Structures are given as C-alpha cells and as structure tokens.
Amino acid sequence: MEYERQRVKVLVAGICCMIVTIGVARFAYTPLLPVMQLETWLDDAVGGWLATINYAGYMCGAILAASISSLVVKDQLYRLYLIIAVLTTVAMAWTDNLYIWMLLRFISGVSSSGGMLLAAGLVLNWLLRHQFRGELGIHFAGAGAGIVFAGLMVEVMLQQALSWDLQWIWFAVAAALLSIPAWRWMPRPDPRPLTVSGHAMVDCPPDPVFMRVLMLAYFCAGYGYVISATFIVDIVEQQPELTGMGAWTFVVVGIASMPAVLVWDRIARRWGYLRALVLAYGIQVLGIILPALTDGLAGVLFSAVLYGGTFIGCVSLVLTLSGRFYPARPAKMMGRMTLSYGVAQIVAPALTGMLAQQAGNYDQGLWLAGGFVSIGAVLMLLLIVLEKRQPHQSLNLV
C-alpha cells in the first residue's frame, strides 16, 4: 500500500514535469506564435527558425542525458531543468531581440529534455525497481496535459486582451507553481541495479542493425511530429473561415493525446510494440496531411484528433521499449533514440517555414512530413521481420 501511494506521487511528479518542460518550455510557443506575429515583427520564416533552435537545444539536452550514466547526476539535472524552464519562459517577455530570443529558445529546448528523457527515465526506473508494470503511458499523458494547458491558457489570456509579453510571464508563473510537486514528489534515485525484492535488473541491448533501423524510423516520426506541433495553430489561423480556432485546435490535440497513450499501452500489450507502432505511424500520416486536403473545421479537428492520438503514443512506445532494453539505465537508449528524433526536429521547422514563406501556405511542408512518417512505417515493418529472425525474449516486440 505504501508503494502504491508513492507510485501515484511519482507519476504526478512526472506529469507536472512534463507540463513545465514540454507544455510550457516547448509548447507554449505554438499557440503564442500567431499572437507574437501579430504584435511583433515575427514572420513565418523566423518563426520556423526559432522552433528549429528550440529543437537544437533539445537535442543537446538529449546528448547530455545519453552521455551520463549516473542516476544521481540525472536526478540533479532533472531538478536544474525545472528551474531553467521557468527562467527562460519569463525571460521571453523581456525583449523582442532576435538573438536573445534565439538563445532563450535554445536553452529552453535543453530543459525540455528534462521532461521527455530524464523524468521518463527516473519514473521508469522507479516503477521497474518497485516491480510495477514498466509502461510510461500515464507519464506521457503529461505531454497531452501540457498541450491542453498551453492552449487553454492562451485562449483565456486572449479573452483578457493580454499582450504577448504578459502571456509569457503568466506561463512562467504557472510553470513555477507546477515545479513544486515535480521537485518534491520525484524521489531521489537508488543507483543499485536491484529491485526492492533483491532481483537483478539486467540490461539486454538490441543488436546493432535493429538499433540503426529503429533510430531511422524514429527520425521519420520526429519529422512528422514537429511540423504539426510547431505550426498547427498558425495553419488553422491562416484559413479565413477558421480565424480564432487555432488555440482550440491545439487544445483538441492535447485532449486526444491524454487518453491515447494509455490506449497505446494496451495495444502494445496485446499486439506487441512494433505492430502497435506500425499502426500509430499509419494513422499519424493521415492526421498530418488532412489540413492540406481540407480547410473545413470538421476536417481540421479530425486531423487534430488523429495527430494528437498518435504522436505521443509513438514517443511513449519507443521510449518505454528503450527503457525495457536497459532497465538498470533506462535513459541510456532513450537518449540515443531522442537524438534521432531531435535531428529531424532541427531540420523540419526551418525548411517548412521557408516553404510556407514562399508558397503562402503550409501544404508542401505537410505532404513532406506525411511522406517521412510513411517511410517510418515501412521501417517498422522491417523491424518486425528482423525481430522474427532474432527475437528479444520477454520484451513483447511482436
């Protein structure tokens, strides 16, 4: 009973960290982008570059997480990133200088890896050590909660006619409050490779070919994810008949993603992780390209549901799988996978922003993103073939 109560607090800590480092430090920029474009000099191309710089910081944070083996040091970074997420958010309100914005978005991106990698690794390690089911669906529901939180906050602040800079300040205040349970309820890690009952936690690394194909498939998912994550609000707001619906569309993405991660956990339990990922990739392709096929509200909202219901499922499944390969050091493979995911997120927003600046819409970028995710689905099918030839016992891959 004591461990069950602590499990709830650990999961809540992880969710709060996700809202702070992903929902605010990363996703607040998405619903705020149209507001900043309206009230400052920001245009589509520079907006894309700022997103790219944020992801460059995220990738650097992932490199750091992957290079550190000590769970104690990872825990210290986790707490530092909570502070950085709050400070870089409030600092966005103090200037409209491009170079300072670039620096802040980069550092904020570094802190985002605290939620996606360090918190996930600490939560998964605690669950496995205390012999709970090693699944991260509940933890990654925090990303959906962060999206909903960011979208609703912007919508409320717009109703109050708050300027873009005041909106950044209020985001920082909210992040500071949420950092309290994220800090206090995340227990300090036990570095011993043993469960509480004394059983050894043994790593079982994948073979090199499997690892390379999985990283490439995850790169494709990262390219598809980042386009909608960065530009979906702006895509909606550019449609004259949908003006004012951008932030609400972003909220729909978050609402769809929160229960979806739990659904994908159940699908993976029943079908295996790789088959679940093939299905998630396929549905995500449709969710990405729908806004290029229709400009109606129903089509856009359906796209938001499909996208929100799959992108965080892909992340949750891949990082849970990574942690199962390395139960004693779960952030090790998580960091490497996030590097491949992050490289795509550096390239994609800048390219899409430039294409949108030239064409006057995001259609080309959406089709390109859909193509990348389709390639990722094919690579996941290849992994199923590889797994049947040389199965990883007890990992439930297929």
Residue positions counted in the chain: 398
pLDDT of residue 286: 92
Our measurement of the distance from residue 99's CA atom to the centroid of its chain's CA atoms, rounded to an integer in Å, reads 25
pLDDT of residue 281: 96
In angstroms, the CA 291 to CA 54 distance is 24
Question: In Å, what is the CA distance from 341 to each residue of 45, 314, 383?
Answer: 22, 11, 17
3-state secondary structure of 43: coil
- Among 4, 1, 320, 11, which Cα is nearest to 187's? 11
CB 257 within 8 A of CB 311: yes
Q: What is the DSSP letter of 205?
A: P
In angstroms, the CA 272 to CA 255 distance is 25
pLDDT of residue 192: 66
In angstroms, the CA 99 to CA 339 distance is 25
CB 91 within 8 A of CB 175: no
Q: Environment class of residue 348 by beta-carbon count within 10 Å: exposed (0-12), middle (13-18) or buried (19+)?
A: buried
Residue spans of the chain under pLDDT 70:
1-2, 115, 134, 191-203, 328, 330-332, 392-395
In angstroms, the CA 217 to CA 372 distance is 9
Q: What is the DSSP letter of 160?
A: T
Our measurement of the distance from residue 242's CA atom to the centroid of its chain's CA atoms, rounded to an integer in Å, reads 26
Domains recognised in the chain with CATH numbers: 2-189+201-389 (1.20.1250.20)
Provide the total of helices (H) and of strands (E) in the chain, helices listed first. Answer: 14, 0
Output b/e per residue, 245-281; b: 16+ Cβ within 10 A: bbbbbbbbbbbbbbebbbebbebbeeebbbbbbbbbb
CB 339 within 8 A of CB 218: no
3-state secondary structure of 194: strand
pLDDT digits (tens, 9 = 90+) for 73-82: 889 999 999 9
Prediction pTM value: 0.79
Count of C-beta atoms within a 10 Å radius of residue 70:
12
3-state secondary structure of 98: helix
The one-letter code for the residue type at 248 is: W
In angstroms, the CA 20 to CA 146 distance is 7
pLDDT digits (tens, 9 = 90+) for 3-34: 778 888 999 999 999 999 988 998 888 888 88
